[in-house]
C-alpha cells in the first residue's frame, strides 16, 4: 500500500475492480447511452452497466403493449428487441467510454448454439464481462426456459465457458423450484458471478375488453413489489455461492441506499438498479452517498466487510 486512501465503495466482483457496488441493469439503460442525456447523470457514478439483452440475429420484440405500471412495480414484455450481436460489437461498443465504468454484455438465445455464437462475438470485443440471460424460451425444448432447470442452466454456462475467458455472470430466474441448486450447478459449470434475481412472471388484465394488457399476455414484474422475494433469493443463493467465493449481483426493487444495504447484508457484493431509475434517474449518486455514510457510521472500512453479515437465527 502506498498510503493512498481506498474508497470504501470500491468492490471486487468476478475478478473485476468496480468503483461502486451499483450496477445498472440490462434492459433499463439501453446500450449504455440512454441516461447520459439526463442532466446530472454520469456513468462514472456506477461500477458497471449491463447492456440490453442481445441475440445473434436482430429482433423486433413483442407486439404492444410491452410495458404496464402496476402497484409498486412494472410489468414488461419487450421481447429482446435488439439489432443483433454483430451490430452491437461493430457499431455500439466503439462509441462507449470504457474509462467511465465497466460494461457487461447481456447475451440471450433460443438454442445452446445461439448462446455460444453470441458469446464468441463478444469474446472478440472490449466488453468487460458477459451476463448470461437464461430466462429466454428454449425453442428446441418446446418453450421451456433454460433458467428453470439446473441441468439446462449448467449446459449453457459450460458451453459459453468453453469459448471465452471473460468473466461470466449467470442471471438466475426466481421462477424455479430450487434457485440455490441452480446456482450451485452454474458455479460448477464455470460461472464467475450470479445475478439474483430476474423478474417474476406476472400479468395484468383490461377489464373493459377482458383481455391481457400485454401483447405477450405475460411479462416480467420488477420494482419494489418484488424486493422481499429478491432479498430471500439472494440470501438463499449466498449460502451456496459464499462457499465457492462467487459474488452475487443482488437486484429486485432497489430504489434507495437502505434497499441496497439490505441486499448487501443479505449476501450481495454488488446491487442492481433498474426500475428505480424510472422513478429517479439521479438516484445513483444518492445511493452511493447513503452506503458510504452507513459504512462510516457502523465502523465498516469497505462494502466487502458488510457483505453477508445477516445475523444467524
Cα–Cα distance, 106 to 103 (Å, whole number): 10
Rounded-to-10 torsion of CA 285, 262, 305, 182: -110
**Is 284 one of the catalytic residues?**
no
- Which of 28, 136, 186, 284 is catalytic? The answer is 136
Q: Which of 29, 27, 73, 72 is nearest to 53 (CA)?
A: 27
CB atoms within 10 A of CB 183: 27
CB atoms within 10 A of CB 177: 9
Q: What is the DSSP string of 58-122?
A: -B--PPSP-EEEETTEEEE-----B--HHHIIIIIGGGS-TTTSEEEEEE--SSHHHHHHHHHHH
Enumerate the active-site residues: 136
Amino acid at each position: 500500500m502506498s498510503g493512498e486512501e481506498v474508497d470504501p465503495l470500491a468492490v471486487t466482483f468476478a475478478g473485476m475492480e468496480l468503483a461502486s457496488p451499483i450496477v445498472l441493469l440490462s434492459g433499463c439503460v439501453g446500450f449504455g447511452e440512454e441516461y447520459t442525456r439526463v442532466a446530472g447523470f454520469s456513468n462514472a457514478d456506477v461500477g458497471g452497466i449491463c447492456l440490453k439483452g442481445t441475440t445473434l440475429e436482430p429482433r423486433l420484440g413483442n407486439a404492444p403493449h410491452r410495458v404496464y405500471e402496476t402497484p409498486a412495480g412494472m410489468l414488461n414484455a419487450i421481447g429482446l428487441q435488439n439489432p443483433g450481436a454483430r451490430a452491437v460489437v461493430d457499431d455500439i461498443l466503439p462509441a462507449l467510454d470504457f474509462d467511465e465504468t465497466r460494461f457487461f454484455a447481456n447475451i440471450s438465445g433460443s438454442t445452446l448454439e445461439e448462446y455460444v455464437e453470441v458469446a464468441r462475438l463478444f469474446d472478440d470485443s472490449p466488453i468487460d464481462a458477459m451476463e448470461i440471460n437464461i430466462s429466454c424460451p428454449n425453442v428446441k425444448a418446446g418453450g421451456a426456459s433454460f433458467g428453470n432447470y439446473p441441468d439446462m442452466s449448467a449446459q449453457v454456462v459450460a458451453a459459453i465457458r468453453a469459448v471465452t475467458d471473460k468473466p461470466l455472470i449467470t442471471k438466475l430466474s426466481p421462477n424455479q423450484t430450487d434457485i440455490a441448486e441452480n446456482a450451485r450447478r452454474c458455479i460448477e459449470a464455470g460461472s464467475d458471478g450470479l445475478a439474483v434475481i430476474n423478474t417474476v412472471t406476472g400479468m395484468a388484465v383490461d377489464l373493459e375488453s377482458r383481455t391481457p394488457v400485454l401483447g405477450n399476455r405475460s411479462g416480467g414484474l420488477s420494482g419494489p413489489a418484488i424486493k422481499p422475494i429478491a432479498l430471500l433469493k439472494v440470501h438463499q443463493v449466498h449460502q451456496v455461492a459464499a462457499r465457492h467465493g462467487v459474488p452475487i449481483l443482488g437486484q429486485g426493487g432497489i430504489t434507495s441506499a437502505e434497499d441496497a444495504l439490505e441486499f448487501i447484508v443479505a449476501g450481495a457484493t454488488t446491487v442492481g438498479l433498474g426500475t428505480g431509475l424510472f422513478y429517479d434517474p439521479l438516484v445513483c449518486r444518492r445511493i452511493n452517498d447513503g452506503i458510504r455514510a452507513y459504512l462510516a457510521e457502523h465502523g465498516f472500512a469497505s462494502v466487502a466487510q458488510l457483505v453477508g453479515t445477516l445475523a444467524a437465527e
